[in-house]
Homo-oligomer: A and B are copies of this chain.
Amino acid sequence: MRILVLNPNTTASMTATIRALAEESARPGTEITATQPLWGPESIEGHFEGQLSAVAVLDRLATFQEQFDALVMAGFGEPGREAAQELLDVPVFDITECAAQMAMMLGHSYAVVTTLDRAVPQIQDRLLTAGLLQRCASVRGTGLGVLELEEDTERTVREILTQARAAVEEDHAEVICLGCGGMAGLRERVEAELGVPVVDGVAAAVGFAEAVVGLGLSTSKVRGFAPPRPKTITSWPLSRHLPGPGGN
Contact = CB atoms under 8 A, between A and B. Distances in A.
B79 A51 contact: yes
A224 B122 CA distance: 7
Interface size class of A (residues with CB under 8 A): 35 or more
Integer count of this chain's copies in the complex: 6
Interface stretch (A12-20, A97-105, A152-160, A178-186): A97-105
23 contacts: A25-B215, A27-B210, A43-B231, A49-B231, A49-B233, A51-B51, A52-B58, A54-B54, A97-B104, A108-B220, A117-B223, A118-B226, A125-B129, A129-B129, A131-B132, A174-B222, A197-B220, A199-B217, A211-B211, A234-B244, A235-B238, A235-B242, A241-B242
Interface string A126-137: 001111101100
A86 B212 contact: no
A120 interface: yes
Interface string A194-236: 0111010001100110111011011110111110110111111
A91 interface: yes
Interface of A: 10, 25, 27, 39-43, 45-52, 54-55, 58, 79-80, 82-83, 85-87, 91, 93, 97, 101-102, 104-109, 117-118, 120-122, 125, 128-132, 134-135, 145, 168, 172, 174-175, 195-197, 199, 203-204, 207-208, 210-212, 214-215, 217-220, 222-226, 228-229, 231-236, 238, 241-244, 247
Contacts of A220: 106-108, 174-175, 196-197
B197 A207 contact: no
Given A117-B223, A131-B135, A196-B222, 18 more contacts: A10-B234, A27-B210, A41-B232, A42-B233, A47-B82, A47-B85, A48-B83, A51-B55, A51-B58, A52-B55, A82-B122, A107-B220, A108-B224, A120-B172, A168-B222, A199-B217, A207-B208, A208-B208
A114 to B, nearest CB: 13
B228 A174 contact: no
Contacts of A128: 128-129
Nearest to A103: B220
Contacts of A222: 107, 168, 174, 195-196
